[in-house]
Structure formats: C-alpha cells, structure tokens
Amino acid sequence: MQVLRPISSEDFAALKTIAVESGHGFTSLPVDDELLSNKIQRSQESFAKSLSTPIDEGYLFVLEDTQTGDILGTTAIEAAVGMQVPLYHYHQGKTVHHSSTLNVYNTVEILSICNDYTGSSEICTLFLREQFRRGLAGRFLSRVRFLFMAQHSERFSDKVIAEMRGVSDENGHSPFWQWLQEHFFSIEFPQADHLVGLGDKVFISELMPKYPIYSNLLSPEAQAVIGHVHEKTKPALRLLQKEGFEHRGYVDLFDAGPTVEARLENIQTVRETKTGTLTIGDKIPSSADTWALSNGQLTEFRATFTTKVMWDEASQTFTVDHETAQALKLSAGDKLSGFVL
C-alpha cells in the first residue's frame, strides 16, 4: 500500500536521491546536504507549530510503499511565500504607443517584474520517481495536498499558486534565460537556477532589469517559450487546470514558465471531498472508483488511495478494510475524508 505522510529525518537519503533524479529546473530540491536537512527540519517544525494564520511554514510529504519501505516521491506546500525571501515574477501586460498626428497605434507586450503573489500559498516539490510513474500515484500526489489544506485551512492563504517548470533543453539551458544572460547576467541558467534553490536571490534585485522589458525585443526563441511549460511538466499542468487553476499572465523570471492560481475553496478536490464516520469491514468489495482517503490529522497525517472503500451518502459513513484503517492510523468511529481520484 502507498501511504503519504510528513517527512522525517530518516528520509534524508531518499530525499537526496529524489533531488538528484529531479534534474535541472527543479529548484525546490537542490542537491545540497545542508539545505535538504534544513528542509526536513523546517517541515517538522511547521507541522509541530500551533497556528491560526500562515507565516512562513513549509510542509513536505513523502509517499512510502508500506511493504518495501521505498520512498516513491514527494509533494509539498509552502504556507505563505515571499514573507522572508522576496518572491519575484514577471507579469505579462501591454502598453500602447499612439500618435494621432502620425496615425500610428501600436500595442506592445511587456514583462514587468513584481511581487504580486507575496503571502499566497504555493504547492510545490511534486516529484514521482520514474520507475513508479504508473497508475494514479502522480494524480494522488497532486490532489491530496488540497485535501490537507482544506482540513487545516487556518494554516494557508485563500489564494493557492503553482509555479510550473518552463522550457529548457536536456542540458538545462533555457532560451528565455539565454537572452537575459546575454544582456544582464554573466552566469549560466543551471547556476542561476541552483542559487534560487539555495535561497540566494540577492543577485535578482542587483542585476535584473528594473524597468519593463518589451517582449518584441527578446530573441524569437525567448519569445516562443513565454508562458509555456517543460514537456515533462505538461501532465502536471493539465491536472491543475482540471482543478480550476488558471494562468493570469505571471511567469518565472528565469525560464518564463507560467504560474497558475486558484482560490482554495474553488479547487475541485476541495469541493468534492466527503467527510464521514469510519466503519471497518472484513471483506470490502472493490469499488468502481479509486478513492483518496485521509485521516485529517496534522503531525500524524496519513493519506492513501484504494478501491477497497464504500461510501454511504445517507449515513455519511465510509467503510474500509482493516489494512486501510491501520495505514491511516484510524479506528472505527473516527472521522475520515476522501474524494474520488
């Protein structure tokens, strides 16, 4: 059985393996022992806090195969981004150059640097190791975060964002960054990407152009990738779009990948979640649907997905087998929440 739980210090080796496998552009998991250890510690401290409003917490989860003990992937939530370290984006806009005397009217697209998403909650660090990318595990990792957020809404912002990985080649080179590098920077994209992953963003305010950039002055290659995602990120973007996330013109500073957003209460998973009382049965027939189930707890949060579940709308009860109840650390009569994957 695959169970999602908060990361622990014993998961360091597995997290480092995932950081290595995630490759270029996955800035939230830099291959750095100290930073990875700090991420684990910060997550543990975030789960342990008593909060009524989000400040600067980070919640990191791992997906574990309970039979083998293997860590299959990760997923995470940042409670309020940009509160300690500035969060920069470009916003796509337009400016008009008009001369009635010459009868000239030109609309030009521009990119303006901004901090508009400061304080928003961010879903991030979703990575499923390649050998486990089958079935519903990826969809589960993406959607179960919204269930956790809804169950602990006081810890998160009403606005949820996701920064999507932009276009880069197999060596990690971004066409958008190449133009910026040529005119404003003297470092390669992987190095800039790595610095961001380390939390070192001072160079952005020091070197990034302060005024809006006219998009038509960029190279054709750079213009072509603005607002587009990496090939491997397309499935993740489609999942979020189904959840109700929209792109409102914000893109990453370095690879121009889109940032998408949604209101927490409008997210499909949140709207479709059922909560009821748990009963435990000996032989549960497989349902036609696969359900994602969560115990709704905090430090002992557990979630899994299974077809061995029955939901009774009239009595507001879930019935699961003993293995599922044990994996979720629940007993008969406890509250259980879930949604159809």
Give me the CATH number covering residue 145.
Answer: 3.40.630.30
Let me know whether 77 and 153 are in one domain.
Answer: yes
Q: Which of 206, 237, 269 is the last residue of a domain?
A: 269
Q: Which helix (H) or strand (E) holds 91?
A: strand 89-99
How confident is the model at residue 253, as a pLDDT? 86
260 with 310: CB under 8 angstroms?
Answer: no
Q: Is residue 102 part of a domain?
A: no
Final residue belonging to a domain, choices 269, 285, 315: 269
Q: Please check whether residues 254 and 277 belong to one and the same domain.
A: no
Structural domain contains residue 189? yes
Tokens 């030109």 belong to residue: 106
Report the C-alpha gap between 153 and 189 in whole angstroms. Answer: 36
Residue 311 sits in the same domain as residue 197:
no
What are the pLDDT tens digits along the chain (341 aa)?
Answer: 999 999 999 999 999 999 999 876 577 888 889 989 999 999 999 999 999 899 899 999 999 999 999 999 999 999 999 998 888 899 999 999 898 999 989 999 999 999 999 999 999 999 999 899 888 999 999 999 999 999 999 999 999 999 998 998 877 778 998 887 777 776 666 666 666 665 656 666 676 777 899 999 899 999 999 999 998 889 889 999 999 999 999 999 888 999 999 999 999 999 999 999 999 998 888 888 999 999 999 999 999 999 999 999 999 999 999 999 999 999 999 999 999 99
What's 229's DSSP letter? Answer: B
Is 104 within a domain? no
Same domain, 185 and 319: no
* Domain-located, residue 108: no
Model pLDDT, residue 193:
64
What pLDDT is stored for residue 199 in this prediction? 60
Domain boundary among 220, 251, 269: 269
173 a catalytic residue: no
Helix and strand totals (H; E) in the chain: 10, 16
* 163 and 21 within one domain: yes
Residues 190 and 308 in one domain: no
From residue 163, alpha-carbon distances to 93, 113, 235 in Å are 19, 15, 14
Candidate list 91, 228, 230, 322, residue with the active-site label: 230
Q: Are residues 237 and 175 in the same domain?
A: yes
Looking at the structure, tell me whether residues 319 and 257 fall in a common domain: no
Q: Give yes or no for a contact between 305 and 237, defined as CB atoms under 8 angstroms apart.
A: no
Residue 142: per-residue pLDDT: 94
Whether 107 maps to a domain, the answer reads no
| Separation of CA 70 from chain center | 22
Q: Please check whether residues 127 and 255 belong to one and the same domain.
A: yes
**Overall number of domains in the chain:** 2
178 and 283 both lie in a single domain: no
- Asked if 61 and 25 touch (Cβ cutoff 8 Å), the reply is no
23 occurs within a structural domain = yes
Domain assignment present for residue 106? The answer is: no
How high is the pLDDT of residue 194?
62
CATH code (residue 279): 2.40.40.20
Domain span at residue 142?
2-89+115-269
In a domain, 165, yes or no: yes
Q: Are residues 151 and 283 in the same domain?
A: no
> Is there a single domain that holds both residue 172 and residue 297?
no
- Between CA 124 and CA 316 the distance in angstroms is 33
